[in-house]
Amino acid sequence: MARLHEFQGKQILLRHGFKIPRGSIASTPAQAESAAAALGVPCVVKIQAWTTGRAALGGVGFADTPSQARAHAARMLSMQVGNFPVEQVLVEERIDIARELFLSLSIDDRARAPSILLALRGGTGIEDRSAGVIRFPCDPRLGPSAAAIDAELGSSDLEPSHRVLVRDALIRLFAAARAVEARSFEINPLAITRDQQVVAADCRLTVDDYAVVRHPELGIEIARELDHPPTALETAAYAYEQADHRGTFYFAQMNRAAAAGSRGLIGFHGAGGGGSMMAMDAVAAEGFTLANFCDTSGNPSPAKVYRAARVILAQPGLVGYFGSGSGVANQEQFWSAYGLAKAFWELGLDIPAVIRLGGNTEDRAVDILHAACRALPARVEGYKKNDPPSAIARRFRELVESSTRVWSPRPPRRPGFVGAGPGFALKGGRVWIDPVAWAGSAPAIVSRASGLLRDDAGRPALTLSPVDFAAKDSEMIACEVECRRDAIGGEDGAVFVELEMPGLP
């Protein structure tokens, strides 16, 4: 789930009619001092971090003067919560709380609908006080029933004037959560102040990963629940995933160096959650340290697999590339083989690679991988569903032990005809055709182009409109790999698909 900080969640609540304390964000001690001076009242300084129990961590401080706020901020901005450095603090007015309530909305996956919880006593340990929590089921479109809320609150110990305010808070919370497609939205405490106001004093918010693309206004950089700030590679990989929804692509960096006693750092490329976990266990059992976790599944395009391989190989210090999925995938494995073969050729792969391409068309996939990679400096071996991960992990260890190379990232190679020969736009890139190779081998190129190219008086032409052709990047990547595999056009091939890779060299 994508998480937002407290101050971001409070702005959403404010837009939906909630009262929130006056305050502002500070990134430096000086800014915190200025924020406190602008408030002109005693204030509270809170770290903006994705964690509970901030007070116990020293992440909440009370200040009576701007200089005290500055001191709190100076201390807090040097803190680290887990792997996350504290980069911002919230400086806001201290409110006079008479009573604390707990209010939250979450998605009940079993009911396939939202559910709102209300506890008439807030604070910590709500999960241990379930008997005092009221649950309100919600219609996914209409929210909680006002009549049901009134019935529950009518028998509570809330003052009559407060019952109306709390009922309105429940209804507004649903509206706020629905507006941003939240998986959970918690207000703790929902405070009743001594001047009879109901105020959202603190909040936590997570947004459904798949909804993030529909809410650019939230400014979520990457919809991944990582245990560290997103790295440059993770950010780039997420952007590639969002730009191409054919299949899935998940990438997370894990280690920058091999563990003590390890056989070395490796790039890991899985396909399918369960199969990837088994493969990770198998290669870890052989004594390797994983640089990353990567998964391309759900029938990914060759372009998506290619970009995944490029991201994995942007990590220095690898001694090998290990790929293995579930072995029973119903996706056409040959598309993944084309993507891998293209990436390995462009980067001149010189460390061993073992790839298990189990599933539909696995025979064709393994043949493509072997034939397209036979001229590489490294040994690349493909395996099928009947080859267990433990066996191919042992074979991988043998190949790594016989190799002395350590991977060093490098710019991808580009044939000399790129930018000079005829070119046609594709989704996220462009296909280039060598005019010399076309002059001598046009029929052979056409036969490998899935009916997309034709010869027009000695020049390549499209058989369909440029708009329709732009969606045929998979077929043209296959054409590129097959031409090079069959020595059409020489070492560089006759066709080259140049794909955009923002964020990578």
CATH number for position 451 = 3.30.70
Say which residue, 505 or 312, is predicted with more confidence. 312
CATH number for position 144 = 3.30.470.20
Residues 6 or more apart whose CB falls under 8 angstroms from that of 459 comprise 422, 435, 438
- Picking from 253, 377, 240, 249, the residue whose alpha carbon sits closest to that of residue 317 is 253
Domain co-membership, 274 together with 125: no
Question: Using an 8 Å Cβ cutoff, are 359 and 385 in contact?
Answer: yes
pLDDT score of 227: 78
Domain co-membership, 190 together with 310: no
Digit-coded pLDDT (tens) for 409-465: 999 999 999 998 889 999 999 999 999 999 999 999 999 999 999 999 999 999 999
Kindly state whether residue 13 falls inside one of the protein's structural domains. no
pLDDT score of 123: 63
Domain co-membership, 242 together with 316: yes
pLDDT score of 455: 97
Query: Which residue is it, tokens 């969002």?
Result: 242
Domain co-membership, 246 together with 355: yes
Angle among Cα 505, 224, 329 to the nearest 5 degrees reads 85
Q: Would you state the structure tokens that stand for residue 499, as one six-digit string?
A: 């794909």
Whether 129 shows a pLDDT value over 70: the answer reads: no
Mean of per-residue pLDDT scores for the chain: 94
What count of other Cβ atoms lies within 10 Å of the Cβ of residue 281? 12
Whether 130 shows a pLDDT value over 70: the answer reads: no
Kindly state whether residue 10 falls inside one of the protein's structural domains. no
Q: Over range 238-251, report the average pLDDT.
A: 91
Domain co-membership, 325 together with 382: yes
Kindly state whether residue 412 falls inside one of the protein's structural domains. no
Task: Kindly report which listed range (49-63, 96-110, 209-223, 470-484) carries the lowest average pLDDT score.
Answer: 209-223
40-59 burial, b if ≥16 CB within 10 A, otherwise e? eebbbbbbbbeeeebeeeeb
Q: Reading across the β-sheet that carries 429-433, which strands appear in turn?
A: 423-426, 429-433, 495-499
Domain co-membership, 37 together with 169: no
Pairing of strands 203-207, 2-4: antiparallel
Domain co-membership, 245 together with 347: yes
Task: Kindly report which listed range (63-77, 265-279, 345-359, 398-412) carries the lowest average pLDDT score.
Answer: 265-279
Q: Over range 15-42, report the average pLDDT.
A: 98
What count of other Cβ atoms lies within 10 Å of the Cβ of residue 89? 32
Kindly state whether residue 390 falls inside one of the protein's structural domains. yes
Domain co-membership, 140 together with 193: yes
Distance from the Cα of residue 338 to its chain's centroid: 24
Question: Using an 8 Å Cβ cutoff, are 294 and 240 in contact?
Answer: no
pLDDT band per the 50, 70, 90 thresholds, residue 273 = confident
Domain co-membership, 246 together with 388: yes
CA–CA gap between residue 276 and residue 296 (Å, rounded)? 10
Element (H, E) at 336: helix 333-347
CATH number for position 86 = 3.30.1490.20
CA–CA gap between residue 57 and residue 46 (Å, rounded)? 11
Is omega for the bond preceding 189 within 30 degrees of 0, making it cis? yes
Domain co-membership, 270 together with 329: yes
pLDDT score of 125: 59
For residues 461, 464, 467, 468, the Cα torsion angle rounded to the nearest 10 degrees is -130
Domain co-membership, 275 together with 355: yes
Kindly state whether residue 224 falls inside one of the protein's structural domains. no
Distance from the Cα of residue 484 to its chain's centroid: 34
Percentage with pLDDT > 90 across the chain = 85
Final residue before a domain boundary, out of 93, 114, 146: 93
pLDDT band per the 50, 70, 90 thresholds, residue 51 = confident
pLDDT band per the 50, 70, 90 thresholds, residue 1 = confident
Which residues sit opposite 21 in a β-bridge?
none
Cα separation values, 444 from 19, 339, 493, Å: 70, 21, 12
pLDDT score of 229: 86
pLDDT score of 326: 67
Say which residue, 34 or 50, is predicted with more confidence. 34
Whether 121 shows a pLDDT value over 90: the answer reads: no
What count of other Cβ atoms lies within 10 Å of the Cβ of residue 295? 23
Q: Over range 160-172, report the average pLDDT.
A: 95
Q: Where are the alpha helices (DSSP H) in 87-231?
A: 146-154, 160-180
Digit-coded pLDDT (tens) for 305-363: 999 999 999 999 999 999 997 666 567 899 999 999 999 999 999 999 999 998 889 99
Q: Would you state the structure tokens that stand for residue 11, as one six-digit string?
A: 């702005």
pLDDT score of 223: 82
Kindly state whether residue 416 falls inside one of the protein's structural domains. no
- Number of domains forming the structure of the chain: 4
Kindly state whether residue 300 falls inside one of the protein's structural domains. yes
Strands (E), 261-301: 265-271, 289-290, 292-297
Angle, helices 302-312/473-485, rounded to nearest 10 degrees? 70
Final residue before a domain boundary, out of 218, 252, 270: 218
pLDDT score of 128: 56
Q: Which domain does 71 fall in, by range?
A: 22-93
Hey, what amino acid is at 241? E
Whether 116 shows a pLDDT value over 70: the answer reads: yes
Reported pTM = 0.84
Domain co-membership, 395 together with 316: yes
pLDDT score of 228: 81
Whether 131 shows a pLDDT value over 80: the answer reads: no
Final residue before a domain boundary, out of 38, 64, 93: 93
Hey, what amino acid is at 415? P
Which residues sit opposite 143 in a β-bridge?
139
Kindly state whether residue 342 falls inside one of the protein's structural domains. yes
